[in-house]
Amino acid sequence: MTADNERNRLRQTFDQAASIYQQVRPDYPQELIDDLINTAQLKPSAHLLEIGCATGKATLPLAQRGFAITCIERGAQLASVARQNLSGLNVEVIESHFEDWQLPTGTAVDLVFAATAWNWIDPAVRYRKAWQVLRPDGHLAFWNASHVFPDDGDPFFLEIQDVYDEIGEGVPTSTAWPRPGELAEQGSEIEQSGLFEVVHIRHFDWERVYNVDEYIALLQTFSGHILMEEWKQERLYSEIRDRLYQRPNKSVRRHWGAVLHIARRRG
């Protein structure tokens, strides 16, 4: 299977998790949203384009600031939930693939952004397409919510790896377990496009506590877990329940990290 086909196969899975995505996926830190607005110098009249809004996790705090936002979401169920979550705000949710969608002739946006979606867009298309829809000196911004592992973090994630190994879903022994501040940056990739100048890169990290049901629901929003065979899911989730219910607080602390990239359009 080619890399393009695999990416398409995986990104199609998220629509299956539309009903639980908003509840269990993390909210982004307010400081990240503030940093984005300030660095991109967004005025109250700014028009934003979001790629892959899912249920509106990043859309909502920006729309509540009064920005007009056009969202492109390929998943029909995700788009439907997003419209409900963003009702009453100056937001339009369009069900489409960003690679195929066209901005109305004669218009341009001030910011193109993607929250935990940029890496799912075709690498051969994403920078060129973002450049095309931006006004001169407009900005591109993206970040991903990823798992990070502080030295004082919850040991559960390493402890449960024996079950992943048992069901054939273990990670290679060479897999990195990044601490906060150690997530990979994509500044070189941005510059290599020749279309954008990197103006800001900043790491953020935060923590969320999940009870047993919330944590299993979170896993059910990840493409790799969605595609697991049923017997593997049953074995894994059963063991997670057993181990977490043995804890005094019956919960798990998950540490999230994100790298905010902001770049200015060239030309």
Confidence of residue 12 (pLDDT cuts 50, 70, 90): low
Write down the pLDDT at residue 7.
45
Residues 148-175, mean pLDDT to the nearest whole number: 95
**Dihedral pair phi/psi, residue 121, rounded to 5°:** -85, 145
What is d(CA 215, CA 210) in angstroms, rounded to the nearest whole number? 5
Confidence of residue 155 (pLDDT cuts 50, 70, 90): very high
Choose between 105 and 211: higher pLDDT: 211
User: Is this model's pTM higher than 0.75 or not?
Assistant: yes
For 185-232, give the DSSP string. P-HHHHHHTSSEEEEEEEEEEEEEEEEHHHHHHHHTTSHHHHTS-HHH
Token pair for 55: 């249920």
Tell me the pLDDT tens digit for each residue of 49-95: 999 999 999 999 999 999 999 999 999 999 999 999 999 999 999 99
Give the count of beta carbons closer than 10 Å to the beta carbon of residue 44.
8
Token pair for 212: 């047993």
From residue 206, give the alpha-carbon distance in Å to each of 148, 158, 256: 9, 19, 5
Cα 124–chain centre separation: 20
Token pair for 138: 């407009």
Q: For the packed helices 212-219 and 230-245, what is the interaxial angle rounded to 10 degrees?
A: 150
Specify the CATH number for 3-149+177-207+256-265; select among 2.40.280.10, 3.40.50.150, 3.40.1280.10, 3.40.50.300.
3.40.50.150
Tell me the pLDDT tens digit for each residue of 208-225: 999 999 999 999 999 999
